Chain A
Amino acid sequence: MSLLLRAERITKVYTNHRALNQVSMAVPEQSIFGLLGPNGAGKTTLIRIINQIIGPDQGRIFINNELLKPKHVRQIGYLPEERGLYKKMEVGEQALYLARLKGLKGEDARKLLKGWFEKFDLMPWWKKKVEELSKGMQQKVQFIITILHRPKLLIFDEPFSGFDPINVNLLKEEILKLRREGATIIFSTHNMGSVEELCDHIALINNSEKILEGDVGEIKKEFRSRIYEVELETTKDLVERLAGEHFSIIGTKSQNGFVTVRVKIKGNATTNELMKELMPAANILSFKELTPSMNDIFIKKVTGKFPLETLENNKQGSAGT
């Protein structure tokens, strides 16, 4: 798979703090790439550097193996986290203006815009002022402006914050469609759960440094929790049975005559061995491995511990929902 974007040891120092420290990143073509990390980690700074809004202090960015240049502005569509429109300007006129600034010709822009406005039922609002539009409609307009010039690379910073669920689904559909048509997409967000199921590659950024990057499937494999949640009929000698060196009970919880147990399998022991211990004791109702969410992986990476390793954190993928 060829790379659409490559960032090489990017460092950016603001007057008071270091926003990015030697961050490298590789975004494969036609992938959906999640740039994840808590607020203030440096994601927006990196994105602004890619958009040439600010320059890096060190490091280089390549697009299609070509050093980033002003002409690449035309190939990138960017929906910033801080986004808005001129309130007093007419919607259509404003969309045309922003399209022209991206480098589209007036007539082409008008044709393309009309198509998108019709698709999103915005045509009756063309002549209205932006302040007369609902928030949801304004967001649709912003989205259209971002993708109108058919950029090869789409960058969405906190894309779904402030969108209502219906619009979120609409946007997700459109984004997936754009990807099928050849676009590469970068999602930047602190809300990892909101894009997790969409991304096929991710990079985790914390405290100005990249701490993890790669294919989502491979990362999940690497970060298997080996923690299993078993639901059983009540049994007395459960603790004795699992007392061996291969297993450790994280916690148990009884409810209505059923017991939920979280067990971590250690060393080379297998799930079958765990079953073997449990089966004679009680009827097993369910048995599943807890897959860590991106959020869990992030916490594990930062603190060294999975949040799953306590029973209070009963829900799968703590903040992932």
Chain B
Amino acid sequence: MSKTATIIKREFLSRVKKRSFLVMTILGPILMAAIIIVPVVVAQLSDSEYAVAIVDDSDLFHDSFKSTENISFTPLGTTIDHALELMHDGRFDAVLHIPEIAFQAPSSLRLFSERSVNFNAKLLIENTLKLEFESIKLSHAGIDEEVLRSIDTPINIQALRIKEDGELVTDYPEISMGLGIFSGLLIYIFIFLFGSQVLRGVLEEKTSRIVEIIVSSVRPFQLMIGKVIGVGLVGLTQFLIWIALTFAIVGAFQIAMPEMFRFTPDDQVFITSTQALSADEMEKQMEYIQQHDTVAGQLVEGLSAINFPVMILSFIFFFLGGYLLYAALFAAIGSAVDNEADTQQFMLPVTVPLLLSIIMAQMVISNPSGPVAFWLSVIPFTSPVIMMVRIPFGVPYIELALSAGLLILGFVATTFLAARIYRIGILMYGKKISYGELWKWIRHS
């Protein structure tokens, strides 16, 4: 086994065997799965029934309110004062008071509650009343409700993207955005997490004074590159385990509680008008919308539009490329200082481009093919994060190739520079190093 391989093996195993690695590896997917599962579960469990009493002094809306799974409506024939007493006794969570003059003055409507009002209930009441008010007004004006409804045309444009090979795919910008930001953020976190592990590893070798023992057996470059690769493999391992475990946990939940993941149209709160279009040429379109116009349907449709093999492969490539680029710099910083406190002065040039790319991700998302997006995704220091943000929106292969090529050149260059700083830095103790000094080390052959 070559010496570099021996070093890689130690760097990898010594980290993978640590308890913190095990904890992170298990906690990571649980957290990620929780992000997916918890909102679903919470939405399902969504508290006990919310009881609303209705005191309708106008006598107009007796039958308007339909109880739902979570919200029940009870019309009361009593006075508002009595109803409030009943609420105080705990029979109801809220009391809706519709005064006699409500129709003339809708602002006189009141919803009383002893705790803060359930937002969904308020929304439901408002929507219901709005429709009722409208239909009463319509009939007063002599307009048939059905006619009006048929005029109200829901528009849902299907965004289509023509791919390079001419294939048409439906575009779901929201899903691309979410996925782009998520993977960009993940790259950012991974680069920082494992980059600083390299820094600490180099510093550990320096402060424990083992480094000179090692470099009498291997070249400093072998030690540096061995550490960078070893730690990178730890990151890759962790990422792959995370992906596998996340899918496993989410999958297990789906099998265990399938009813929780069956998405239904959310018609309880948002009472949508029925679609009464009957034109033949629209029929297919309508069917399509009905089938797909649900959160779950869109999610499934949107996710299936994402090219996952490309996503995962490019994630691995840009993670490794970005990591190698920055890890070399982290290694150089670790070698140039004597303790962790001194690293601060050199961290700026490393953190600024990374932070910049996360900040610019917002801008890139709003225009994923614009010039800002293009340049940031080919400059090696920002490309790992920005390219991952762009990929879910679809990136021309030529740009991908350009970005990848420049990233490879980039990390070869930083590794070369870092190695020159590293071999001098690791043997230098008790001296405050300035940027000028580092530059001298780089030039010094």
Contact = CB atoms under 8 A, between A and B. Distances in A.
B206 to A, nearest CB: 9
25 contacts: A15-B437, A15-B441, A48-B427, A53-B212, A53-B215, A54-B423, A73-B217, A79-B213, A80-B212, A82-B209, A82-B212, A82-B427, A83-B210, A84-B209, A84-B213, A85-B213, A86-B204, A86-B210, A97-B6, A100-B3, A101-B214, A101-B217, A101-B218, A103-B217, A142-B213
Interface in B416-445: 423, 427, 429, 437, 440-441, 444
A97 to B, nearest CB: 6
Contacts of B1: 100
A51 interface: yes
Nearest to A142: B213
A250 interface: no
A102 interface: yes
Interface of B: 1, 3, 6-7, 10, 14, 204-205, 208-210, 212-220, 423, 427, 429, 437, 440-441, 444
A85 B441 contact: no
A80 B6 contact: no
Report which residue of B204, B423, B427 has the largest number of chain A beta carbons within 10 angstroms of its beta carbon: B427
Contacts of A51: 216
B246 to A, nearest CB: 30
Contacts of B219: 70
B428 to A, nearest CB: 10
Interface string A95-112: 001101111000000000
A78 interface: yes
Given A15-B444, A101-B7, A84 B208 contact: yes
Nearest to A51: B216
A78 B216 contact: yes
Nearest to A102: B217
Interface string A54-85: 10000000000000001001001011101111
Contacts of A83: 209-210, 212-213
Nearest to B214: A101
A53 B210 contact: no
A83 B7 CA distance: 19
Interface string A117-155: 000000000000000000000000010010000000000
Interface of A: 15, 48, 51-54, 70, 73, 76, 78-80, 82-89, 97-98, 100-103, 142, 145
* 5 closest residue pairs by CB, A with B: A84-B209, A80-B212, A101-B217, A78-B216, A84-B208
B200 to A, nearest CB: 12
Contacts of A15: 437, 440-441, 444
Contacts of A101: 3, 6-7, 214, 217-218
B216 A73 contact: yes
A145 B213 CA distance: 9
Contacts of A52: 216
Given A80-B213, A83-B213, A103-B217, 13 more contacts: A15-B440, A15-B441, A53-B220, A73-B216, A82-B209, A84-B209, A85-B208, A87-B204, A97-B6, A97-B10, A98-B213, A98-B217, A102-B217
A158 to B, nearest CB: 12
A176 to B, nearest CB: 23
Contact of A86 (B7, B208, B216, B217): B208
A86 B6 CA distance: 16
B5 to A, nearest CB: 10
Contact of B216 (A53, A88, A89, A100): A53
Contacts of B3: 100-101, 103
A181 B14 CA distance: 37
Contacts, number: 67
B229 to A, nearest CB: 16
A100 B6 contact: yes
A82 B216 contact: no
A84 B209 CA distance: 4
Contact of A87 (B208, B214, B220, B440): B208
B433 to A, nearest CB: 12
A80 B216 contact: yes
A102 to B, nearest CB: 5
A145 B214 CA distance: 11
Contacts of A102: 217
Given A86-B208, A101-B3, A53 B213 contact: no
Contacts of B7: 101
Contacts of B437: 15
A78 B213 contact: yes
Report which residue of B210, B440, B444 has the largest number of chain A beta carbons within 10 angstroms of its beta carbon: B210
Nearest to A84: B209
Contacts of B215: 53
A53 B427 contact: yes
Nearest to B443: A15
Report which residue of A53, A70, A76, A102 has the largest number of chain B beta carbons within 10 angstroms of its beta carbon: A53
Contacts of B423: 54
Contacts of B14: 88-89
A76 B444 CA distance: 27
A53 B209 CA distance: 15
Contacts of B218: 101
A73 B209 CA distance: 20
Contacts of A82: 209, 212, 427, 429
Nearest to A74: B217
Report which residue of A82, A98, A103 has the largest number of chain B beta carbons within 10 angstroms of its beta carbon: A82
A45 to B, nearest CB: 10
A54 B423 CA distance: 8
Contacts of A53: 212, 215-216, 220, 427
Nearest to A78: B216
B226 to A, nearest CB: 10
B6 A76 contact: no
A142 B210 CA distance: 10
A314 B440 CA distance: 49
Report which residue of A70, A88, A98, A101 has the largest number of chain B beta carbons within 10 angstroms of its beta carbon: A101
A100 B6 CA distance: 7
A85 B10 CA distance: 14
A77 B204 CA distance: 23
A138 B429 CA distance: 21
A132 to B, nearest CB: 14
B225 to A, nearest CB: 14
A103 B216 CA distance: 12
A84 to B, nearest CB: 3
Contacts of A103: 3, 217
A100 B444 CA distance: 31
A48 B211 CA distance: 13
Contacts of B217: 73, 98, 101-103
Nearest to B440: A15
Nearest to A88: B14
B377 to A, nearest CB: 39
